[in-house]
Chains A and B, each alone.
Chain A
Amino acid sequence: MTPPRPFDDPLSVLVICQLVAPVVALASIGLPALLGRPLSERTTTRVVGSAFATSFVAALVTLVMIINRGFAAHVVHLGSMFAVGHHAATIELVADGLSVPYVCFSTGLCALVNAFAGKYLHREPGFARFFILLALFGTGMNLMVLAGSIDALFAGWEFLGISSALLIGFFHERRNAVDAAMRAFCTYRVCDVGLLAASVVIHQATGSGDFAALFAGTWPEATCLVPGTTALTVSLLLVFAALGKSGQVPFSGWLPRAMEGPTPSSAIFYGALSIHAGAYVLLRCESVLDAAPAAAWLLVAIGGGTALHAAIVGSVQTDLKSMLAYASMTQAGIILAEIGLGLRVVPLVHVISHAILRSLQILRSPSAMHDRHELAAALGGHPGSSDWSLVRLLPRRVSRSLYHIALERGFEEAVVTRLVVLPLMAMLKAADGLERRWTTLLGGGSTEGRMRHDSSGGMP
């Protein structure tokens, strides 16, 4: 029997539409920009806005249809990109009770941010660049969420990573923005190893990257199909991958710095969507996590620890964006802990409500600051704040220690930098220095002349 063609079924068309709309927007604004003829600001926002609106409407209709079908998963087979021997990269989209709500709120928020950014970034030199990255982000988010295989999920995950890093470094003329972007990218890249390795383990264990070979049944009541040791390995790798994107300890250092990017991108990526990508992956593979209690408890410990850490550190932040970043980190930690505890619908609702609230707060933050300054001017002084705090219930010595820890951001960055980053960089620089000395010796003189000559480009 030949498999049904994707375009024969209206539901499949709707699912494909959710993915294709941002891709079309990306191509429509990206190609003219690459050819040196970027679209006007108005056209750019209209194209991107229409794409997200289309995707949002398609997701809403899909959600209604899925509900009518009792949340039964609808799988769309788009075929195989390539296959060698037993290794095949298939493209399969899944619309179910997890993916479609995620697409609804992510495309809705992207459309909202598109409308906001059109005004916020008016006449910015990087206007087109921002919207290209927004469309790339939307493409990655929808691909990751709708993915029916680990390969497609990984592709979407990578789109998120690169677009996030480039948006953090959007104001690339600022040193801090570049440093923050590199910090985020390095964290992502290291943690992506987890997802990449999980993908390989899944391929080796099941002979395919399809989730259907990894677990059976409808979310959130799927059953794991792989043995316990494989489930444990995959779960640990997925948890490792999720820690980076969700800004969890010990990989949380990039998150507060990510606010170097423009406000609209901060809202959508680090407050709402990007930070919940890890939670999505763990929710998608919940049955595998269920089969690996050790990984689940590890997740609870890390999530709980991060929530506590971020709550303490966030309480001493002096700028609004940093406070919001730590607040996001706290909620992300709680969400991961909920997933580790075996809850399914609760974290999904938590993700959606937190994303909407946090987006609103971050988008509102510049005008909130403005309002507060106006209020202070009108009152002739600082409006003041509540003196009540939970910390005041603690003994003075404890609260002082906590304050010190909070100011130092829990020493998390210091420890990671001192124990991992600095020794590694010192080792690499030493190796590079040895290489240079050795080649200088071989050359019988200096090889450093390279920076002085041949900008003219002599041919071979």
Chain B
Amino acid sequence: MVVETVSLAAVAVCTAAPLVGAVTLRLTERRIDPRLVASAAVGISLVASLVAAACWHLGSGRPTTFGPGLTGGSVVLVDGLTAILLPYVAVVDMAIVLVAPRRAFASPGVRRLLAGAAITFATLSTSHPVALTILWGVSILATWTTIRSTAGGRTTARVYGLAMAAALACMISGTTLLVADPPWLTGSGTTGATGGWLVAIAVMIRKGLVPFHSWYHTLFSGASLATALVVTMPQVATYTAVRLLVGHADGVPDELLVLSNAALMTAAYGAALAVVQRDARGLVGMLAMSQSAMVLAGLAGTVPTELCGALAVWVSSGLALTGIGLVVWALESRGGAISIETLQGRFADAPALAAFFLLFGLATLGFPGTLSFVADDLIISGSLDDHLHAGLFVIAATVFAGIAVMRGWFHVFGGRVTVDAPRHALLPRERVAFTALVIILFGLGLWPGPFVRSLEKVATSLLASRHHHAAAPLPESHP
């Protein structure tokens, strides 16, 4: 009981801290260093998320729920998935706050970052269909407003707005139909089935799965890199799919099959397109699209190894791609946009950034000693256990992603040197952020046992919930 109370309090603090930070910044208007406020707010969220994760472990892996329930979902739910994702998102946000260039803090953007973080934390702590839908709407509106206010971002905002309007419409109508007639309960009819398909389409659009993926590239190209990372790295659509579809797989098998196959195609297609990108942002975008699709493909699987692999890819690729994205941002802030059509020769200019780019790249492409090696091993093994074609798509994706990352590294840092010595030394806050990400990625890669055991617990509970929901809904609320 105490553990559950602490867990709920930790989630509340985790969600509220960024909001308080945003309000503080609004009230103080530059009298306090905005980076300090943002770091403190996200830092509190990070600590609180770790407390929530510890509570989940202490509570023997039992989920903690709060508030009224609906079709098996609760307004607040802290289970294994939430316990893993909250610290992960907090680390991503913290890295962004630390690496963001100084001038980025002169704008109201930092308040939007904090508000966005709060929305994400709230989303990842609920399984209630209505709450999820509302949070989808709020986050889409906030992101669209942000992109629109970015210099030259109107076109991107238009593409993003069109895609997300469609996604939101599908989500609203789909959840309504799902709630009215849950397809995982006996006696359901076409209403529930239609709802399932609409939610699946909403997830496909918001995840950027083929054929609804075009906004993904545009977002990375036309919006701020911080916006792109904050929007894509938490993978809110995947989380929604887990809560509304994967958790009820017995009721929506066809929807999951389509999602899984679309995700597999996206993983391979995105990685292949990453090989021919013309600029560093496009490279990060395509890699992010590919890796995040791999997560959904794995989560739709039916064996624990595959689910474990998917969860590990969620964290490893998210942290590694955040690292690459932030290195690109740091390079852009020093010398403008980076083309990778020709060799840019940035090595002598920024050798430390070259080293971190390479390390994050290796952590993306399944290099031994990194978490992604463990993740790839699990997801490939699991997907081949499940379906041969799934394993082949995943292998193709890893091959293309590896080539794309190394091409990116050589093209950004290779080439004729234009300076004699490093002009742009790494700032201490940047070094702290990059080093922390490297320590997490390599630490979990070299000593993956405890983390993989946690993932296995989550995977097992997800698989169990599928069959559980087929029989009867989960207990819906905790007083």
Contact = CB atoms under 8 A, between A and B. Distances in A.
Judge: A and B partners, yes or no. Answer: yes
Interface of A: 33-36, 80-85, 87, 89, 125, 151, 154-156, 158-159, 162, 165-166, 169, 172-173, 175, 177-178, 181-182, 185-186, 189-190, 192-193, 196-197, 200, 203-204, 425, 428-429, 431-432, 435, 438-439, 442-447, 449-460
Contact of A425 (B276, B343, B380): B276
B423 interface: no
A266 B116 CA distance: 51
A110 B230 CA distance: 45
A435 B410 contact: no
B337 A455 contact: yes
B387 interface: no
Interface in B314-330: 329
10 contacts: A81-B448, A158-B373, A172-B414, A186-B403, A200-B384, A439-B215, A453-B150, A455-B332, A458-B107, A460-B231
A135 B395 CA distance: 28
B31 interface: no
A172 B407 CA distance: 12
Contact of B112 (A151, A439, A460): A460
Contacts of B103: 456-457
A100 to B, nearest CB: 22
- Size class of the B contact interface (CB-based, 8 Å): 35 or more
A82 B452 CA distance: 7
B459 to A, nearest CB: 8
Chain A at the B interface: mostly helix, strand, loop or mixed?
helix
A178 B105 contact: no
Contact of B158 (A125, A203, A442): A442
A193 B224 contact: no
Given A82-B448, A125-B348, A452 B333 contact: no
B355 A456 contact: no
Q: Which 6 A-B pairs have the closest CB atoms?
A: A459-B109, A155-B368, A450-B221, A453-B152, A443-B155, A460-B227
B279 to A, nearest CB: 6
The residue in A177, A193, A439, A460 that gathers the most chain B C-beta atoms within 10 A of its C-beta is A460
A442 B303 contact: no
B423 to A, nearest CB: 15
B55 interface: no
Chain B at the A interface: mostly helix, strand, loop or mixed?
helix
Contacts of B385: 204
Contacts of A458: 104, 107, 109, 149-151, 224, 226-227
A172 to B, nearest CB: 4
A457 B225 contact: yes
B35 to A, nearest CB: 11
B395 A197 contact: yes
A447 B339 CA distance: 15
B81 interface: no
B261 interface: no
Given A89-B377, A193-B395, A460-B224, A452 B403 contact: no
A444 B158 contact: yes
A173 B345 contact: yes
